[in-house]
């Protein structure tokens, strides 16, 4: 019985060897070999740099120009043609008003209106020829508006209606707010507050990262730094203009991340700059990259980040000088995969 069992074992081993040598077995081995072929990637070699870190500040989104629109004369609103959120074009009629203080004598009122129209037309021609000032033109336009029975309110620029402060049929006074317009031409900004120490590390033109709760990450640039401390706050206002303000709303809270510039005499800390394409995941101040080890395999690595600069992502922990991280090809790699460098 023992001899027979040994014979069966030998037969089984021979069958396995035959299967491995058969065409089907060879194909299986080839497929297995192809499955573990190194993934071709591009890498970035970490170089040590020094930075003073990244500044964080919070502020509110707003249009650079938010204009209050009103009638220059008292009266009753006859029509109100737009509502909150409406996009309007420059010159578009937004509302009309019937004056309540036009002269009691219709004939006299008509003479006043004709005279105001003629004066406005004449001043307009002179202004176009450079013979009248802008103030002269504005005064003539105001006089014409006051003489008209029906007064129109037009959009001074293309933008969005942020707020409607009146209703049709309402009696309003001269200068009373009817609508508030956010002008597209001036863009959307964040006004953030920085301390006197932090503001010294910021320059106009610095690239910033803007985080808005519930929205995708936006980029921007520092466009203005207040030369005077904000009263009763002990801070300076920094204005950041967003590159892509689409769908954003005035009043939303935003966090601004600015890569700080070293200040003479300040103790600096080590940070690294890596290409943004190397991040395979990013949340708040955490990120994930693939680091290529000495064995030629990709290892998933958690890193600490602190915003962006125009050169890349600021990394404050998780990487060492000289390490190679995968840039192009990172989406094709899994933890432990063998890789080969396309270029360094």
Q: For the domain that residue 216 is a member of, what is the CATH number?
A: 2.40.30.170
Query: What pLDDT is attached to residue 266?
Result: 53
At which residue do the structure tokens 């910033």 appear? 208
Asked whether residue 124 falls in the same domain as residue 166, the answer is no
**331: closest CA among 272, 274, 288, 271?**
288
Give the separation between CA 73 and CA 68, rounded to whole angstroms: 15
Asked whether residue 91 falls in the same domain as residue 174, the answer is yes
Asked if residue 277 belongs to a domain, the reply is yes
CA distances from 113 to 34, 137, 148, 170, 175 (A): 89, 16, 6, 24, 21
Per-residue pLDDT averaged across 325-329, rounded?
88
Query: What pLDDT is attached to residue 232?
Result: 62
* Cβ-count burial 248-266 (b if 16+ within 10 Å, e if not): bebeeebbbbbbbeeeeee
Query: What pLDDT is attached to residue 319?
Result: 86
Q: Is the pLDDT confidence value at 57 over 60? A: yes
Contact 71, 141 (CB under 8 A): no
Query: What pLDDT is attached to residue 5?
Result: 46
Q: Is the pLDDT confidence value at 8 over 70? A: no
Please provide residue 164's backbone torsions phi and psi, each rounded to the nearest 5 degrees: -110, 125
Query: What pLDDT is attached to residue 2?
Result: 43
The sign of the dihedral angle between the CA atoms of 229, 66, 123, 73 is: negative
Q: What is the pTM of this model?
A: 0.51
Q: Is the pLDDT confidence value at 291 over 90? A: yes
Give the separation between CA 230 and CA 57, rounded to whole angstroms: 15
Query: What's the domain range around 299?
Result: 39-53+268-343
Q: What is the CATH number of the domain that holds 313?
A: 2.40.420.20
Question: pLDDT category, 16, cuts 50, 70, 90?
Answer: very low
Per-residue pLDDT averaged across 307-332, rounded?
78
Asked whether residue 168 falls in the same domain as residue 253, the answer is no
Q: Into how many domains does the chain fold?
A: 4
């Amino acid at each position: 019985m023992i001899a027979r069992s040994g014979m069966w074992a030998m037969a089984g081993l021979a069958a396995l060897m035959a299967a491995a040598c058969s065409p089907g077995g060879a194909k299986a081995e080839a497929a297995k070999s192809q499955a573990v072929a190194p993934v071709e990637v591009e890498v970035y070699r970490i170089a040590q740099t020094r930075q003073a870190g990244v500044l964080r500040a919070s502020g509110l989104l707003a249009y650079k120009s938010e204009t209050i629109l009103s009638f220059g004369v008292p009266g009753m609103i006859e029509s109100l043609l737009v509502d909150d959120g409406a996009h309007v074009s420059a010159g578009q009629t937004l509302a009309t008003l019937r004056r309540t203080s036009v002269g009691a004598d219709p004939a006299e009122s008509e003479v006043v209106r004709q005279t105001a129209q003629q004066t406005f037309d004449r001043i307009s021609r002179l202004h176009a020829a450079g013979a009248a000032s802008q103030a002269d033109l504005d005064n003539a336009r105001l006089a014409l508006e006051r003489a008209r029975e029906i007064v129109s309110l037009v959009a001074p620029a293309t933008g969005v209606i942020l707020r409607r402060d009146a209703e049709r049929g309402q009696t309003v006074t001269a200068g009373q707010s009817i609508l508030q317009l956010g002008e597209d031409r001036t863009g959307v900004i964040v006004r953030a507050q920085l301390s006197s120490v932090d503001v010294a590390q910021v320059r106009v033109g610095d690239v910033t990262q803007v985080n808005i709760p519930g929205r995708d990450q936006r980029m921007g640039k520092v466009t203005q730094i207040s030369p005077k401390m904000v009263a009763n706050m002990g801070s300076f206002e920094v204005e950041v203009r967003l590159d892509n303000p689409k769908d954003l709303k005035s009043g939303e809270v935003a966090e601004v991340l600015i890569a700080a510039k070293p200040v003479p005499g300040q103790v600096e800390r080590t940070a690294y700059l890596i290409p943004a394409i190397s991040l395979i995941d990013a949340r708040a101040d955490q990120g994930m990259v693939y680091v290529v080890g000495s064995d030629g395999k990709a290892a998933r690595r958690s890193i600490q980040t602190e915003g962006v600069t125009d050169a890349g992502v600021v990394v404050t922990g998780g990487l060492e000088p000289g390490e190679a991280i995968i840039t192009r090809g990172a989406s094709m790699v899994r933890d432990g995969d063998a890789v080969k460098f396309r270029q360094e």
